[in-house]
Structure 1
Amino acid sequence: MSKPLESYLRHLTIERGLSANTLSAYGKDLSGYLDFLEQEGVDLMDARSEHIEGYQLALIDSGLIASSRARALAAIRGLHRFLALEGIRSDDPTKKVRPPKLPIRLPKALHLSQVEKLLEASGPEPGVDSPDLIRIRNRAIVELLYSSGARVSEIAALDLDEVDHSGFIRVRGKGSKERLVPVGSFARRALEEYLVRVRPGLVKAATPALFLNQRGGRLSRQSIWEIIRACGEAVGIELSPHTLRHCFATHLIEGGADVRVVQELLGHSSVATTQIYTKITIDTLREVYQSAHPRARR
Structure 2
Amino acid sequence: MTDIQIVPSTGRLLTAEDFLRLADVPPEVEWFANLTNRCTRRAYENAIKDFMAFTGIQKPDEFRTVTRAHVIAWRDELGNRLLNGATIRHRLSALSSLFDYLCDKNAVTHNPVKGVKRPKNDSAEGRTPALGDHQARKLLDAPSGATLRTLRDKAILTTLLYHALRREELCKLKVKDFKHERRGVPHLKVAGKGGKTRYVPLHPAAGGLIHDYLELAGHGGDESGALFRPVSNNTKTGSAKAITPDGIYKLVRAYSTELGFTIGAHSLRATAATNALDHQADIAKVQEWLGHANIATTRIYDHRKTRPEDSPTFKVNY
TM-score interval, normalised by the smaller of the two chains: 0.7 to 0.9
Paired residue type of 1:213: P
Paired residue type of 1:174: K
Partner of 1:149: 164
Is 1:252 matched up with 2:273?
Answer: no
Q: What is the aligned residue count?
A: 273
Q: Percent identity?
A: 26
Distance 2:253 2:52 in 1: 40
Partner of 2:231: 214
Partner of 1:9: 32
CA drift at 1:246:
0.9
**1:251–1:63: structure 2 CA closer, same or farther, 3 Å change rule?**
closer
Partner of 1:135: 150
Note the 1:229-244 alignment, pairs <5 A.
Answer: 229-244=253-268
Distance 1:34 1:233 in 2: 38
Partner of 1:296: none
Distance 1:142 1:157 in 2: 15
Distance 2:212 2:198 in 1: 25
Paired residue type of 1:269: A
What is the TM-score with the length of structure 2 in the denominator? 0.74
Paired residue type of 2:155: A
Distance 2:203 2:223 in 1: 28
1:237-294 per-position Cα deviation (integer Å, ceiling 9, x unaligned): 332211211111001111112223222222223222221112x2222x22x579xx8x
Structure 2: tracts of 5 or more residues without a match: 5-25, 235-239
**1:245–1:189: structure 2 CA closer, same or farther, 3 Å change rule?**
same
**1:219–1:44: structure 2 CA closer, same or farther, 3 Å change rule?**
closer
Distance 1:121 1:233 in 2: 11
Distance 1:32 1:224 in 2: 28
Query: In 1, are the aligned partners of 2:192 and 2:198 still within 8 Å (CA)?
Result: yes
CA drift at 1:190:
1.7
Distance 2:223 2:281 in 1: 40
What is the TM-score with the length of structure 1 in the denominator? 0.79
CA drift at 1:180:
2.0
Query: In 2, are the aligned partners of 1:199 and 1:212 still within 8 Å (CA)?
Result: no
Note the 1:73-88 alignment, pairs <5 A.
Answer: 73-88=92-107
Distance 2:54 2:129 in 1: 37
1:36-90 per-position Cα deviation (integer Å, ceiling 9, x unaligned): 5558xx9533444343223212322344332221121001110111011122223
Partner of 1:127: none
Paired residue type of 1:117: K
Distance 2:167 2:291 in 1: 13
Partner of 2:113: 94
**1:230–1:60: structure 2 CA closer, same or farther, 3 Å change rule?**
closer
1:203-250 per-position Cα deviation (integer Å, ceiling 9, x unaligned): 8x9960111233224333333333323332443333221121111100
Partner of 2:86: 67
Distance 1:35 1:29 in 2: 10
Distance 2:71 2:197 in 1: 35
Query: In 2, are the aligned partners of 1:134 and 1:198 still within 8 Å (CA)?
Result: no
Distance 1:275 1:162 in 2: 28
Query: In 2, are the aligned partners of 1:109 and 1:244 still within 8 Å (CA)?
Result: yes
Distance 2:106 2:63 in 1: 14
Note the 1:1-298 alignment, pairs <5 A.
Answer: 1=1, 3-12=26-35, 17-19=36-38, 21-37=39-55, 44-104=63-123, 105-123=126-144, 131-166=146-181, 167-195=186-214, 197-200=215-218, 208-215=225-232, 216=234, 217=240, 218-278=242-302, 280-283=303-306, 285-286=307-308
Q: Which has the higher helix share?
A: 1
Partner of 2:15: none
Paired residue type of 2:72: E
**1:224–1:53: structure 2 CA closer, same or farther, 3 Å change rule?**
closer
